[in-house]
Structure 1
């Protein structure tokens, strides 16, 4: 069964901006959902899982900063990367506030749509690799209860270990390849964290399945 496409949440109180952003992102391998307010965004995040959030800063009612604050307080949503988008100029403190509440990037309108799309694409790649890593972790955890008597069916056990090893190697290769192409600091930091998680899974894998010398 094919993996479910990643979701992008776009938050802006102006319908024309939502349409423009959806058009920029339509070529990516992801579905795009929209919200017209911070309150709508929080409800959407409770209903579905999202890989990336693009959010306007200046919205009536709950602005982007307050919305991001609530997003980062919840375990379910705190790790979703947020890119802030704003038309405000001449206010350098806005960018500082954006990073202070946990945004990974901050773009001032009008921005280059190709730049935005490439940033989102990099974050989607990180999301997919994290999902693959989580799947490998789950597979490893599933094997743990039976490790004491793992050879109850040697051929099955061997196939499971081989599949897990192959999946882990694929994630490691993808992380290494992405390290050579990612350039912006925020995405690099997220990639460093993913690399640490992959290394931890590799250590657990080797401890369990590598024969002693």
Structure 2
């Protein structure tokens, strides 16, 4: 478990090629209690995502080299990062084509600069909460799946004892028991996987 997961602190990745924009984002978000990670390019953002468990990405659209759209496409292709919400930030005219391209690349929201700091803070709060709820549900699903596998293994062990105990039963009893026991074994084997 990562340090941020154990302390409850989430990480937000801020991606912009202009240091002054990163500084402004940090100033807006610093009071929320989240760890803010900086990346000056799409490539640097992808490197962060290799080793960090990030809960939200604020991503500038216009950057030299790998732009925000291409960066988002890379993020969404990876199993580990595909569910991280991305909010695009752009100085471009927020025309329909650009917004559509942002949503197509996997963004959950698209804000045009200059944006209202309070709106950004509110959106960050909502998307962090949704992402954390999704992760909590995933952890619960994993626990339930492990429990179901353990229960299936226990039931299979019990079934083996029943099969051994009925092996010496009269042939007519054995013939009646074999189909339901075989069906039960098959269902338990599936559940154990």
Superposed pair shares fold, TM > 0.5: yes
The Cα of 1:91 is off from its aligned counterpart by 4.3
1:60-83 alpha-carbon deviations (Å, 9 max, x no partner): 111111111111111111111111
2:84 matches 1:119: no
Q: Tell me how far apart the structure 2 counterparts of residues 73 and 145 of structure 1 sit (CA, whole Å).
A: 30
1:51 aligns with 55
Is the contact made by 2:14 and 2:58 (CA closer than 8 Å) also made in structure 1? yes
TM-score, normalization by structure 1? 0.65
Instruction: Say whether residues 1:15 and 2:19 are aligned partners.
Output: yes
How far the C-alpha of 1:128 sits from its partner, in A, is 1.8
The runs of at least 4 consecutive aligned structure 1 residues that moved more than 4 Å come to: none
**Cross-structure match for 2:72:** 68
1:87-166 matches, cutoff 5 A = 87-89=91-93, 91-147=95-151, 149=154
The separation in 2 between residues aligned to 1:109 and 1:89, in whole angstroms, is 9
Task: Note the C-alpha offset of 1:140.
Answer: 1.6
Distance in 2 (alpha carbons) for counterparts of 1:76 and 1:17 = 27
Question: 2:164 — aligned with what?
Answer: none
Q: Deviations over 1:112-166 (max 9, x none)?
A: 011011111001111221222122223222322342659xxxxxxxxxxxxxxxx
Distance in 2, matches of 1:42 and 1:102, equals 15
Range that drifts further, 130-139 or 20-29: 130-139
Provide the C-alpha distance between the structure 1 equivalents of 2:85 and 2:56, rounded to a whole number of angstroms.
5
Cα distance in 1 for partners of 2:128, 2:96 equals 28
Task: Tell me how far apart the structure 2 counterparts of residues 69 and 143 of structure 1 sit (CA, whole Å).
Answer: 36
Q: Which structure is larger by alpha-carbon Rg, 1 or 2? A: 2
DSSP 3-state at the match of 1:34: strand
- Unpaired runs of 5+ in structure 2? 156-193
Q: Counterpart of 1:81?
A: 85
Gaps of 5+ in 1: 151-213
| 1:147 partner SS | helix
Q: Are the aligned partners of 2:10 and 2:55 in contact in 1 as well (CA < 8 Å)?
A: yes
Deviation at 1:2, TM superposition (A): 4.7
